[in-house]
Amino acid sequence: MDRKILLIYTGGTIGMKQNPDTLLLEPFDFTQILQEVPELRKFGFVIDTYSFDPVIDSSDANPAFWVRLCELIGANYKAYDGFVVLHGTDTMAYSASALSFMLENLEKPVIFTGSQLPIGMLRTDGKENLIDSLELAAACDAHGHPYVSEVCIYFENELFRGNRTTKYSAENFSAFRSPNYPPLAEVGTHIRYNNQALYHPSRWGLPLLMHTQLDNRVAVLKIFPGISEAYVRAVLATEGLRAVVLETFGSGNAPSYPWFLQALSDFTAAGGIVVNITQCQTGMVDMGAYANGDTLRQAGVVCGRDMTTEAAVTKLFVLLGQYSDNKTVAIKLEISSFGEIS
Ligand code: ASP
């Protein structure tokens, strides 16, 4: 039987054309995708399309959008062998991270891709990204099991785990990086799958579980030398706030000013969660390495190791939506359940 892929267009540069009068980028009618990319007819599998209406600039992505996307995939899960999601690059790493936590027991590929130049432009990177993503989404072994059974981002010849990825360049075709986890596949003249890095379900046939209750009572606090007490206290005093992603220096260090540690301790003592992730691109938080990290631990801060900001924020949204008890969330936060922590 032919394999079937659902191609979902949510918006972003990839589906745009330049308006010759205004020179502004505007979305084209996605039902005309075959006109723009006639190469798609050459695939030996079925490609159905679904377009969001209206499409969004990915800067407008939010929990409601992720729930819609998750439910769309859930409703079509049995009918398709894989999903390719065309998405703006700006927040693609957030959306891919969110979906990785929302889709439990996933055993089919969900591959996000996009482009830096619109598909209607001669030098576009969109065609290649789209064609390669479709091929990766349809690939399977002799038993019909897909090679890829997780949420990924494909960009410029590399397939990355979605919740390990971050947007790296506003201009380069190679726009994404997965600093702490190797690529899942590299596409050249051959497609080379990295079997050691890919997720392999331990059992096939488990029902897909969708977590669509998201709680966004989360703040991101990026520290910097000279940060003021008023600013830190204002963030922590945000009404209803349940969790803070604390972006620290190096291996998880922060100022040792008494007011800073006191502010964090007050927040955690009142039941709030503070998770420590590093501002560095590579490496991980180790709060036992320096005295300044250790004081954070004493203030009740939990360790995010090498989670990206995108993963930490969206994992919190999903966990806080699932559990009303912050203690349970804090415990689950430190455990890698979807390959998001080394
Ligand atoms: N602003 C666009 C978006 O993220 C940029 C892109 O698609 O690359 O939707």
Q: What is the pLDDT of residues 171-197, one digit of tens each?
A: 999 999 999 999 999 999 999 999 999
Which among 66, 84, 201 is positioned nearest to 152, based on CA atoms? 84
**Residue among 55, 89, 166 whose CB has most ligand 1 atoms within 8 A, to mutate:** 89
Helix (H) or strand (E) holding 314: helix 309-322
Residues 268-296 have a mean pLDDT of 93
Distance from the alpha carbon of residue 99 to the mean position of ligand 1, in angstroms: 18
Question: Using CA atoms, how far apart are residues 261 and 295, in angstroms rounded to an integer?
Answer: 8
- Label residue 142 by pLDDT band (50, 70, 90): very high
Which among 72, 67, 77 is positioned nearest to 101, based on CA atoms? 67
Instruction: Indicate if the alpha-carbon torsion angle 198, 202, 203, 207 is positive or negative.
Output: negative
Q: Is 167 in contact with 93 (CB distance < 8 Å)?
A: yes
pTM for the model: 0.96
Nearest ligand 1 atom, CA 57 = 9
CA angle 256, 257, 261 (to 5 degrees): 75
What was the pLDDT predicted at 158? 98
Beta bridge partners of 151: 110
- Output the six-digit token pair for 12: 């972003």
Beta bridge partners of 51: 9
Domains in the chain with CATH codes: 4-210 (3.40.50.1170), 218-333 (3.40.50.40)
CA angle 309, 272, 337 (to 5 degrees): 45
Distance from the alpha carbon of residue 13 to the mean position of ligand 1, in angstroms: 5
